[in-house]
Amino acid sequence: MSANPAPLWRRSRDRNNELERVRRTFGWSAPRLTQIALVELDRIYVPAWALEKAIRGLTVTPSSVWLRRIAANKLAALDIEAGGTPKLTVSAYRRCQMCDRALLGPEAEARLILDMRFEGEGKRTPCGPGCVELVHALGKREV
């Protein structure tokens, strides 16, 4: 991130306060953060339907996948049915509209604040180190 010397806990607190303030200002029109979950399976492998729903850009293994909450719960239930004890790790999620990276947790919150604070302009603010470079790299690759 930046050369901000504030300790992690304070950065986190400030960010939460800012998110609260932005929510109060925008009220119900405020965009909300999507919740996704990493499902770590115990007894079964990730089925094809879950692979199709995997959040693009995040890690997938034969026994773990990032999914939206409903799909995550469904997959966890299948593992439990098979006698397993799956692990669910829930996180906030937002995609950067500049570099198309999937952002999680504090990064997703920061992205939401940027998007809301600057509206159209904020969406052109990089999400973090590597963001602009990524945009350039993707542009040069001519997909």
> Which residues lie near Zn ion (CB under 5 A)?
96, 98-99, 127, 131
Nearer to Zn ion, 98 or 112 (CB): 98
CB of 15 to Zn ion, least distance (A): 17
Nearer to Zn ion, 71 or 94 (CB): 94
CB of 64 to Zn ion, least distance (A): 24
Rounded distance, CA 82 to CA 41, Å? 10
Nearer to Zn ion, 50 or 96 (CB): 96
CB 132 within 8 A of CB 126: yes
Residue recorded with tokens 């999937």: 102
CB of 120 to Zn ion, least distance (A): 16
Q: What is the torsion angle, in degrees rounded to the nearest 10, for the CA atoms of residue 31, residue 32, residue 37 and residue 38? A: 50
Rounded distance, CA 84 to CA 61, Å? 17
CB of 132 to Zn ion, least distance (A): 8
Nearer to Zn ion, 72 or 127 (CB): 127
92 Cβ neighbours under 8 A, 6+ residues apart? 33, 34, 35, 104, 105, 108, 109
